[in-house]
């Protein structure tokens, strides 16, 4: 340690060298030398203890205090991909007081999400997410452990398994038919595909949650409010926040993002409280929820029953119950509707894909019939289109960021405990060493091959992998396939006169199209009654 560092410190002291001060100065100097000796000894121990420890991953030069924040591009998925071109498949950034680790190769993704899955099974929760998830009580942000396993079990076993989804098939059908009717009534005029599909997904999700708890006449108002709140919440979750880069500033909430999220979350909470009270009243009166004339329990009813019957060692609290409802509303709306919008844009950009889809649907369904979910398994080209859309435009391009519970080694480099680990699935699924013509929309690459999104193949894993893989894959698959098939089968689509198709992406907590897809539907089925 160089003493030159301390020269300005000495110079700042204006001590008169009178004899009366000599003794005091000598004591001060002795103490100061002692402090220097201790600091040197600690530095020596640290430097020796680090010998043999792998270095941090390479990365751009960081500035004091701000690190690399000054150079961040809002389109993080493409910015991180460019960094990997310079620094390699694992690199690092200093994000204020936090360190970010970027993974951009299948082999390193396997290390993180499979080989060391348990170590990386936690999340680095943003300040805004604490407000939207009831303090991190949901399945997304709860730390890995017994409580998280209980919440995941509830979701998979009681809400998102095949039989539970089958039981609300009629509900999905009803909501989608209403959307098709809405498009039919606007035939010949430009329609906002993403906006309408968001409303469809929202209606499906909320109806699955509380069934007939909410009266029909109240659903439109409730749906509009939910849409407004969900849109604002996802925007807040995607905004850079100083509180996340400098945890010490969290209390000050300098940008006001936490405060805004708290206001939105309270609006949701009031709705949840009201619906829960209504459901309890129905249950007290012995009434059962029904879906389109079929007796079936809605998810809220299932959750309330689980709460009452939960193991006392691992109870399901009311807060956790509402946090799960929040996950379903936020996670099940924007994600699928954005993917459908990307799909429509891509197939309109490739007219031959649209023709092949319509020909397949005509063979399986016919032009004098409407698409049903039972047709979906007989549509391999549609399935290939979905996989290709998820390859080019993964819903979460950086997945949900992982956070190691202890310091470990990945790819020969040290990854410190508490780091933010970004797995750039967007970049890997466009890697020219893996994919031929990677930026081209070519569904045929998925016909008759082994590619799936189970998370076992790290060349293609749009829903993540490992313990934290998305729990809603089955639901997303059903809604995407059924929605896209119905849109393509029911209408021909064209751009408004003079419009140019824009496929530009906008990064956020969920990947979106930068410009909304405005297109004109023209009915193509044999009878107007098929649109009722």
Helix, strand and coil content of the chain, in percent to the nearest 5, comes to 55, 10, 35
Give residue-wise pLDDT tens across range 63-79.
999 999 999 999 999 99
Q: What is the structure's pLDDT at 436?
A: 95
Q: What is the structure's pLDDT at 158?
A: 81
Residues of the chain falling short of pLDDT 70: 1-51, 212-223, 286-297, 310
Q: What is the structure's pLDDT at 470?
A: 93
Q: Up-side HSE of residue 155: CA atoms within 13 Å toward CB?
A: 28
Sign of the alpha-carbon torsion through 141, 143, 144, 147:
negative
Q: Report DSSP state, residue 63.
A: B
String of b and e for 452-468 (b: at least 16 CB within 10 Å)? ebebeebebbbbbbbbb
Beta strands in 172-292 (DSSP E): 191-192, 290-291
SS3 letters across 407-457: CEEECCEEECCCCEEEECHHHHCCCCCCCCCCCCCCHHHHCCCCCCCCCCC
Query: What is the model's pTM?
Result: 0.86
Q: What is the structure's pLDDT at 298?
A: 78
Give residue-wise pLDDT tens across range 331-377.
888 899 999 999 999 999 999 999 999 999 999 999 999 999 999 99
SS3 letters across 347-399: HHHCHHHHHHHHHHHHHHCCCCCCCCHHHHHHCHHHHHHHHHHHHHCCCCCCC
Contact 513, 194 (CB under 8 A): yes
Residue 34 has which token pair? 């002692």
Distance CA 133, CA 319 (A): 9
Distance CA 399, CA 425 (A): 7
Is 440 strand, coil or helix? coil
Contact 364, 378 (CB under 8 A): yes
Residue 342 has which token pair? 């990307």
Other beta carbons within 10 angstroms of residue 17's beta carbon come to 7
């Amino acid at each position: 340690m160089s003493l030159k560092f301390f020269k300005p410190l000495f110079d700042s002291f204006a001590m008169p060298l009178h004899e009366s001060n000599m003794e005091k100065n000598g004591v001060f100097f002795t103490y100061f030398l002692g402090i220097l000796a201790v600091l040197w000894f600690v530095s020596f121990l640290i430097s020796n203890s680090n010998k043999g420890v792998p270095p941090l991953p390479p990365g751009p030069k960081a500035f004091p205090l701000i690190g690399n924040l000054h150079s961040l591009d809002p389109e993080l998925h493409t910015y991180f991909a460019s960094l990997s071109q310079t620094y390699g498949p694992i690199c690092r950034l200093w994000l204020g007081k936090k360190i970010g680790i970027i993974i951009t190769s299948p082999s390193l993704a396997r290390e993180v999400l499979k080989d060391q899955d348990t170590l990386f099974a936690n999340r680095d929760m943003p300040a805004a997410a604490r407000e939207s998830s009831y303090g991190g009580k949901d399945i997304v942000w709860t730390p890995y452990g017994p409580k998280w396993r209980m919440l995941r079990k509830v979701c998979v076993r009681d809400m998102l398994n095949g039989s539970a989804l089958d039981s609300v098939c009629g509900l999905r059908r009803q909501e989608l038919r209403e959307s098709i009717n809405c498009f039919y009534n606007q035939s010949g005029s430009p329609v906002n595909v993403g906006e309408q599909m968001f409303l469809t997904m929202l209606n499906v999700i909320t109806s699955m949650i509380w069934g007939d708890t909410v009266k029909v006449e109240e659903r439109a108002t409730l749906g509009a409010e939910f849409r407004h709140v969900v849109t604002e919440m996802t925007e807040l979750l995607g905004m850079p926040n100083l509180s996340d880069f400098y945890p010490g500033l969290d209390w000050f909430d300098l940008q006001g993002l936490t405060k805004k999220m708290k206001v939105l979350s309270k609006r949701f909470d009031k709705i949840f409280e009201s619906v829960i009270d209504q459901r309890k009243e129905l249950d007290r009166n012995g009434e059962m929820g029904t879906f389109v004339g079929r007796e079936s329990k809605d998810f809220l009813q299932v959750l309330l029953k689980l709460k009452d019957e939960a193991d006392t060692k691992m109870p399901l609290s009311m807060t956790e119950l509402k946090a799960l409802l929040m996950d379903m509303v936020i996670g099940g709306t924007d994600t699928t509707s954005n993917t459908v919008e990307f799909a429509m844009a891509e197939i309109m950009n490739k007219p031959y894909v649209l023709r092949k889809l319509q020909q397949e649907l005509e063979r399986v369904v016919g032009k004098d019939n409407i698409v049903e979910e039972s047709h979906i398994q007989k549509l391999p080209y549609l399935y290939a289109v979905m996989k290709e859309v998820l390859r080019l435009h993964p819903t979460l391009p950086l997945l949900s960021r992982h956070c190691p519970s202890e310091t470990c080694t990945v790819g020969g480099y040290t990854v410190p405990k508490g780091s933010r680990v970004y797995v750039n699935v967007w970049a890997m699924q466009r890697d020219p060493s893996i994919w031929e013509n990677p930026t081209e929309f070519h569904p045929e690459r998925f016909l008759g091959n082994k590619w799936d999104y189970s998370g076992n193949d790290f060349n293609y894993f749009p829903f993540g992998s490992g313990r934290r893989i998305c729990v809603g894959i089955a639901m997303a698959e059903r809604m995407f396939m059924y929605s896209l098939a119905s849109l393509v089968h029911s209408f021909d689509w064209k751009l408004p006169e003079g419009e140019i198709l824009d496929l530009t992406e906008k990064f956020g907590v969920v990947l979106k199209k930068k410009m909304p897809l405005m297109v004109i539907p023209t009915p193509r089925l044999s009878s107007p009654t098929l649109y009722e």
